[in-house]
Amino acid sequence: MELGKHKQQRLYQVWRGSNKFLFGGRLIFGPDASSLFLSAFLIIGPALGFCIKILIIIRHQMREHKTVVPWYPILIVAIVLTLLDIYFLFLTSSRDPGIVPRNTKPPECDETFELNSPSMEWVNDRTPRLRLPRTKDVLVNGHSVKVKFCDTCLLYRPPRASHCSICNNCVLRFDHHCPWVGQCIGIRNYRYFYMFITTSTILCIYVFVGSWINIVRGEGTVRKAISSDFLSDFLIIYSFVAVWFVGGLTVFHFYLISTNQTTYENFRYRYDKKENPYNKGILKNFQEVFFSKIPSSMHDFRAFVDEDEIMLTEPTDHNLMEALMSSKEKIDIEMENKFGEDTGLTLPEILQNMELDGIEDNMGHNEDRKKADLDEFVVPIERESTEATSSLKAEVGAYSEKKSDDIKSE
């Protein structure tokens, strides 16, 4: 490789989040994308069983030379609902939910402060003495909203954005991380997520009602039909249990959309106790979710990035920073914070003012001999410290004798 020639890689190959990519960065999934297969199986399995049951009924009707026209629409609707459900599931889990680009360096110096306050935090190891306020106030629709500084992305999160600890990304209009779709739910996929859970609810109700019709129309009594039609029995129980989960989720998110909230905001801020700065009224809230243009992704995952840019996008880990900090620097910071604020003394002054007489008097013979053996190896700075201590003691003694003489002369 020639000198000066930078190695180039695509953005998805050096991505600092926990996401997984397919087809050369064209599809982006969360780190728990494997749960997508379980969700698809829980949808396709019962739906396939229902379609098989309808096909059995159609075949039986044809053998008895009865009309089968009403059963074909039932079969087609079941297939369409299943395909739509899988389609919305795929759209929700395979697209960028609205990831905020990370900063490659800390904010400008005019946004920083050199204050030792609990509300300040280290920025990163490149500027170990630079601190930033943890929150900042911004105006949203005439209301003051606090935004937090993200230590990982090195930026103040936009309003309604939050950092997902699972995907390790800041996401615009973060709702929650859904383990069933294996992806964060944000501004770019919330619409598809709601269509997914709504379609799942409709499919569950459809299978539940259709299975009951199959049992009721069977020959003999209903009890006899229940005891003999095991597939319909299973579908009734399964869809009844599932509809409480996805149906309850659908109703809850219907409420969130009508009040223009996210799941994160609903559990954290409780807008029922204070005014919601994002609420525009029911109609406009629904229009914002379903009829507004979905913003474009702020990332081109297939774009090439230079090796220098890759080094700049290293994640900021405060635990790692603390581990890399030298022991002396840690002691200086901790001791100065603990004692300096109360006494106004620096660490060297504190060490010089410590009384060592009591310790020396309590030392045993063995310790004295060890000390004597080690005297020849004492570093010069330790000797200087000992001489300074002796000098200080001599000055104190001289001052005491002078004071005593003055008293006697009086």
Active-site positions read 178
Cβ 44 vs Cβ 86: under 8 Å: yes
* Cα(89)–Cα(40) distance, integer angstroms: 8
DSSP string for residues in 142-208:
TEEEEEEEETTTTEEPPTT-EEETTTTEEETT--EEETTTTEEE-TTTHHHHHHHHHHHHHHHHHHH
Q: How far is CA 50 from CA 199, 207, 337, 341, in A?
A: 16, 7, 69, 73
Among 241, 269, 270, 266, smallest CA distance to 253 is for: 266
CA-only gyration radius of the chain, Å:
35
* Cα(29)–Cα(93) distance, integer angstroms: 6
Residue 345 tokens read as: 């003394």
Q: What is the largest distance, in Å, between two alpha-carbon atoms of the chain?
A: 138
Cβ contacts of 127-131, under 8 Å, gap ≥ 24: 128/321, 128/325, 128/329, 130/106
Other residues' Cβ atoms within 10 Å of the Cβ of residue 156: 21
Q: Residue 1: CB partners within 8 Å, gap ≥ 6?
A: 7
Burial 32-53 (b: 16+ CB within 10 A, else e): bbebbeebeeebeebbebbbeb
